[in-house]
Structure 1
């Protein structure tokens, strides 16, 4: 009897989940998600282009640590431009999820990626400060270490702010998924959906 009731509960849950998820406008939620991601990649790409242009000019006209600062900005942002371009392309050409579960999974993965990147950004900043500190204790091209260190601190700081702001916006604007999840509850060994709210 317990197995029967458990099986019946699972079937009821799945049917309810499917019926409730149909009320979620998946297309609208997906388009909102795409808009946020495209805007983020456009901002990252713009930052990269400005840094590539100023880095090329600064490297050719600068001397000492200033030249190395611009050199690292140029190299770093060639990578940023590639990431922004690929991110924009894959966002623009991606397929819309067919159900709320896939949409939620995709959004959660994106948000986790942003948080992971923010952790990497802190490592970049720490690496930049390490180079600045190391420059104080070496006679072998300390100007290069200072220039690279300052650039990496700047680039890491921008990326840290960028990732956290994009994560916050994405989380806040993904309200349809959050609203949907507010109707799902877990209690003891049970899972359910509150209907009609």
Structure 2
């Protein structure tokens, strides 16, 4: 009976330790956020480089005005996306070496999710602008060019929307862990403070 009690107590202790260790702390979650963003910036940079390369090659190898406009606009989007990706990689590298308070870590997590939601809204706007350009192309001075630009905006907007939704969901997966890790943090309209329960 004594041995059974020792075994049960040992199992209970190990189980409680495993549960305690399974809840990530704010530093682990903060580093996960940085790593998720870093990987995302590599994807965005790759998407940008692919659009630059294919856009330049495509624009140089056609005489069709609509196709040339499509590839030219893709190449320009590629420059922008690659630039954003490279800046994001530099930021991730810098963030890894900086010191953040728990409140700042949580604020950065909330802000990054908000940023991807805002970007998702802009992506829908890009696609809408592309559809508008295509719909109004016949009334423009250069209908073929407008159709090409419109098609590019639709493709780029859809690609970026997929990217932004994926990034948002990647961060959102950590939300329940953040709630456990910061259960002593209180978020109000005026900021973030510590809460102690007696």
TM-score normalised over the length of structure 2: 0.77
Cα distance between partner residues in 1 of 2:114 and 2:169: 12
> Structure 1 stretch 45-54 or stretch 61-70: which is displaced more?
61-70
The runs of 5 or more residues in structure 2 that have no matched partner are 1-22, 188-193
Shift in Å at residue 86 of structure 1?
0.5
Partner of 2:48: 48
TM-score normalised over the length of structure 1: 0.77
Contact 1:184 1:194 in 2 (8 A): no
Q: Deviations over 1:105-139 (max 9, x none)?
A: 0111111111111111111111000100111333x
Partner of 1:133: 135
Partner of 1:4: none
Report SS of the residue matched to 1:136: helix
1:109 aligns with 2:111: yes
Q: Call closer, same or farther: CA 1:107–1:184 in 2, change over 3 Å.
A: closer
CA RMSD of aligned residues (A): 2.3
Q: Deviations over 1:38-96 (max 9, x none)?
A: 01000000001011000000000122211110000001110111111101101111244
Q: Call closer, same or farther: CA 1:193–1:172 in 2, change over 3 Å.
A: farther
Partner of 2:162: 161
Cα distance between partner residues in 1 of 2:82 and 2:186: 42
Report SS of the residue matched to 2:139: coil
Partner of 1:35: 35
The runs of 5 or more residues in structure 1 that have no matched partner are 1-22
Q: Call closer, same or farther: CA 1:193–1:159 in 2, change over 3 Å.
A: farther
Contact 1:26 1:99 in 2 (8 A): no
Partner of 1:176: 177
Count residues with an aligned counterpart: 168
> Structure 1 stretch 64-73 or stretch 25-34: which is displaced more?
25-34
Q: Deviations over 1:143-182 (max 9, x none)?
A: 1000000000000111111111100111103543132356
